[in-house]
């Protein structure tokens, strides 16, 4: 059996969108040529969003939509006794898997190489999200209830990776590391208690922050945070169904600076209702927050069964069958050209504005190599997210 995990459908960037489907096809073709009699099973978040379309167009034998750890074992057991499984296995969401039983087998991977080339080791502390952000597919993929690993188990994994592979930088890949707050703080306190000398970064929400939390994060080794703010205007926050306020975003930014934690704000421009005024409001608030880096996305990638997709279908803007592997973005057309020029101007004037949709300050391997070499030669901590080294 050959297993392939498909992480992203595309780069979610507009207007220069890049689909990864041809890369997936190439990998499947190589597998078929190398081991023509071996069945191929695919899974992962990308597959789980569009299982029928992937199965049809990739020509693989089996697919697992949803959590795959237990489902893959069940598939292998059925094949071993000669049963004929369903081609697509839909694993139920919402809590059937105990995350404390899923410690990764890092010894089966080239862990040291991944750390050397990638600058961090990924670690997951929970799954699921109770929030209903307009565009987001995480509740569909992981469930709407939060399932947590015990803080002790999380730090056990970190400690083992530190001693066995020399891993001293971790990336908490939870969709929102700081929710629930108490869980993230308990992990940090466990790191502090064990005197584990590591650094880490995480995806976080500015809606679940307080001054004490940042101090604990810093003591536990946090040196960079990526805030999924999405907007810094009242129009944008409402459009994205965000539950926090601009003042919360400003508080989070201030506490990061006070604790010398580098931070980025990921923003989405051009969502429904966006105006020239809301763009200017966002840009002004960005400058007031003074983040280490701004990651400015243009347009909203439409994923199936999200609140935004359902709203646009109801309005007749898009048909359900048009939401698929080919990227479709919502962009407020009335301010499209103004938005392009305004954001390109910010990127030209400020080195810390990253525009993935225009390939501005991304996807340059030579730049990445130079940044890591520069960090190493200067004595800076040259690990962690690449944006940290652009700051």
pLDDT average per 10 residues of sequence, the chain (391 residues) = 97 95 98 97 97 96 94 93 91 70 90 89 96 95 94 98 97 98 99 98 97 98 98 98 97 98 98 98 98 97 98 98 97 97 96 91 57 53 79 71
Q: Are residues 183 and 115 in the same domain?
A: yes
Residue finishing a domain among 31, 58, 90: 90
Q: Are residues 68 and 103 in the same domain?
A: no
221 and 297 inside one domain: yes
Same domain, 77 and 126: no
Q: Do 103 and 28 belong together in one domain?
A: no
| Domain stops at, among 71, 90, 109 | 90
Q: Are residues 283 and 322 in the same domain?
A: yes
Q: Are residues 123 and 65 in the same domain?
A: no
Range of the domain at 21: 2-90
**pTM, to two decimals:** 0.93
Residue 365 has what pLDDT? 54
| pLDDT for res 118 | 84
Chain centroid to CA 121? 14
Q: What is the total count of domains within the chain?
A: 2
Same domain, 106 and 18: no
Please say which residue of 90, 117, 133 terminates a domain. Answer: 90
295 and 235 in a common domain:
yes
pLDDT at 378: 44
CATH number (domain holding residue 33):
3.40.50.280
pLDDT of the residue at 367? 56
**324, 186: one domain:** yes
Shared domain for 85 and 107, answered yes or no, is no
Examine the domain organization and report whether 122 and 73 are in the same domain. Answer: no
CATH number, position 330: 3.80.30.20
């Amino acid at each position: 059996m050959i297993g392939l995990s498909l992480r992203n459908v595309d780069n979610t960037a507009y207007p220069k969108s890049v689909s990864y489907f041809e890369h997936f096809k190439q990998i499947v073709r190589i597998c078929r040529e190398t081991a023509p009699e071996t069945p191929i099973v695919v899974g992962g978040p990308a597959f789980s969003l569009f299982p029928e379309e992937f199965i049809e167009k990739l020509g693989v034998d089996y697919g697992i939509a949803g959590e795959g750890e237990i489902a893959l074992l069940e598939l292998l057991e059925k094949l071993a006794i000669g049963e004929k499984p369903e081609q697509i296995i839909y694993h139920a969401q919402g809590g059937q898997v105990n995350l404390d039983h899923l410690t990764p087998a890092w010894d089966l991977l080239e862990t040291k190489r991944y750390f050397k080339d990638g600058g961090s080791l990924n670690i997951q502390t929970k799954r699921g999200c109770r929030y209903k952000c307009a565009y987001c597919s995480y509740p569909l993929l992981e469930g709407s209830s939060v399932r947590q690993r015990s803080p002790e188990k999380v730090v056990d994994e970190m400690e083992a990776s530190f001693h066995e592979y020399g891993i001293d930088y971790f990336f908490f890949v939870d969709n929102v590391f700081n929710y629930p707050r108490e869980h993230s703080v308990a992990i940090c306190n466990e790191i502090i208690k064990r005197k584990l000398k590591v650094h880490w970064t995480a995806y976080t929400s500015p809606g679940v922050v307080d001054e004490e939390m940042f101090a604990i994060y810093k003591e536990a080794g946090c040196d960079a945070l990526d805030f999924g703010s999405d907007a810094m205007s009242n129009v944008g926050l409402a459009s994205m169904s965000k539950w926090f306020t601009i003042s919360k975003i400003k508080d989070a930014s201030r506490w990061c600076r006070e604790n010398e934690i580098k931070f980025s704000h990921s923003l989405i421009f051009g969502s429904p209702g966006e105006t020239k005024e809301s763009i200017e409001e966002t840009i002004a608030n960005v400058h007031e927050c003074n983040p280490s880096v701004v990651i400015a996305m243009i347009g909203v990638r439409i994923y199936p069964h999200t609140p935004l997709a359902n709203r646009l279908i109801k309005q007749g803007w898009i048909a359900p069958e048009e939401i698929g592997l080919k990227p479709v973005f919502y962009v407020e057309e009335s301010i499209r050209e103004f938005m392009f020029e305004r954001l390109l101007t910010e990127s030209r004037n400020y080195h810390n504005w990253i525009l993935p949709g225009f390939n501005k300050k991304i996807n340059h391997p030579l730049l990445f190599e130079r940044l890591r070499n520069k960090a190493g030669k200067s004595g800076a901590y040259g690990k962690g997210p690449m944006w940290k080294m652009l700051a």
